[in-house]
Amino acid sequence: MLDGLLFLVLPAALLIIGAPIFLALLITSIAIVLARGMPTGAIQIYMFGSLDNFPLLAVPYFVLAGEIMARGGVAKRVILWVMSLIGGVRGSLAVTTVAASELFGAMTHTSVGTVVAVGRMLEPPLRENGYDQRFAMGLIASSGAIAVVIPPSIAMIIYSMVAQQSAIALFTAGVLPSLLIGLIDIGYVLLYARIKGVTGGNGGKPSSLWKTTKDASWSIGTIVLIFGGIYGGVFTPTEAAGVAVIYSLFVTIVVHREVGLSEFLQIFKSAIGLIAQIMLVVTAAGVYASLLTTSGIPQQIVAQIISWHMPVWATLLSLNIVLLAMGSFLEPPAAILILTPLLLPIVQSVGIHPIHFGIIMAVNLSIGMYLPPFGLNLFASQAVFGQPIGTIYRGVWPFVLINFLALLLITYVPAISMALVG
């Protein structure tokens, strides 16, 4: 009983009063260790053990590569290329926002970074072409969240570590769901543009397309290099992350030459700060998850849920609701580290493949990134656009609803995730 209260009530109370997630988990873990009479040295053992994982090495490399690409001219060139490629049809700028977010999310692996990069480039032209502020911010905040799902996703790397699944299999499983989400968003924005009578954007001229393709060729090469190397068996996802750093440095320094020494120092400083935040969460959640696993609480929860004899569809719907709620409060890495040990045994008990569940979890947490009231992309959008948070809330709700429909399809049609895995 005491363990249950400590595991659930204490971290919830700490989060409510504003404690950072890593501190809430660490304080809870220390309290549990003391309550059990365990030596406090166990905390250090669990912390270092949670970092002793080879796939986790990919995270700092991908974060650094993403920061370099976001500030080194890669984002701008990719977005201009997508604008030229899509052309000037009605709704093309909104479609460009979705497509650019998918591409940039695949390159930088960070949802907030995608919101900032795409938002700064496309929010002004969206407004100038007849889209209202609320719609533009909702579109950018929601589209940026695709970085959680589209491979090679940091969230999937962490899930592969916790669930002991192949990162490459998860990347493969994420391809069709991320494309499905993008297509559903594109369908909605095209309908919106037609109903509102929004004019077309610029682009589509052969000369413009050739110029932007030439300018963006080195930037687009990042995706080709990462995906080709991983799926061609040339290197592991961790090695691919290191190659992405080297390649992005080469493109930024030698090809684009837009970033000076002082800017590079800022890039590395920003990357180090983000890496430190992620690793703090990983270590604190590692301690919490290890203590939770040995407490027997997950086994009790699984037994209780099985005793309810719910059909599979009801179990999955319940888990989706839990994940959406948690995703609106926690960043994906923290949510995955905390919830996977609890939920994975439940889905396995009803016959859901761990890879399929990893995609379900990623899609839920991506929606959580812009789900009011605390989705992180909402506050990133507020910082970028300087608009009231209430306006952003109203802008994202249509995208929450349509992407919830995509989530249901991904949840109840396993082939969307598993067809390419084999």
pLDDT single digits (tens) 369-404: 888 877 778 877 877 777 887 888 898 999 999 999
Q: What is the mean pLDDT of residues 136-153?
A: 87
Tell me the DSSP string of 169-195. HHHHHHHHHHHHHHHHHHHHHHHHHHH
pLDDT single digits (tens) 272-298: 887 887 788 778 877 887 787 777 776
For 17, which DSSP code? T
For 55, which DSSP code? G
3-state helix, strand, coil in the chain (%, to 5): 80, 0, 20
**pLDDT at residue number 365:** 93
Look up the domain containing 414 and give its range: 2-418
Q: What is the mean pLDDT of residues 250-272?
A: 82
Read off the pLDDT band of 55 (50, 70, 90). low
d(CA 24, CA 374): 17
Domain count within the chain: 1
Inter-residue contact 345 to 302 (CB < 8 Å): yes
Phi, psi of 365 (to 5 degrees): -70, -30
The H or E element spanning position 203 is none
For 255, which DSSP code? I
User: Facing residues of 218 across strands?
Assistant: none
pLDDT single digits (tens) 291-314: 877 777 766 766 777 777 788 899
pLDDT of 135 higher than 70:
yes
Q: What is the mean pLDDT of residues 255-261?
A: 77
pLDDT single digits (tens) 101-118: 888 777 777 787 778 777
Inter-residue contact 312 to 351 (CB < 8 Å): yes
The size of the chain, in residues, is 422
Side chain identity at residue 334, one-letter code: A
**pLDDT at residue number 2:** 59
The token duo for 75 is 């984002």
For 344, which DSSP code? H
Residue corresponding to tokens 């890593």: 22
The token duo for 56 is 């986790």
The token duo for 312 is 């599979």
Read off the pLDDT band of 182 (50, 70, 90). very high
In this prediction the pTM is 0.80
User: CB under 8 Å to 315, separation ≥6 — which residues?
Assistant: 305, 346, 347, 350
**pLDDT at residue number 170:** 93
Read off the pLDDT band of 54 (50, 70, 90). low
User: CB under 8 Å to 144, separation ≥6 — which residues?
Assistant: 101, 105, 111, 112, 114, 115, 118, 119, 369, 370, 377, 380
Residue corresponding to tokens 């609480």: 297
Higher per-residue pLDDT: 130 or 306: 130
**pLDDT at residue number 122:** 80
pLDDT of 31 higher than 80:
yes
**pLDDT at residue number 61:** 82
Q: By CB neighbour count within 10 A (0-12 exposed, 13-18 middle, 19+ buried), where does 279 fall?
A: middle
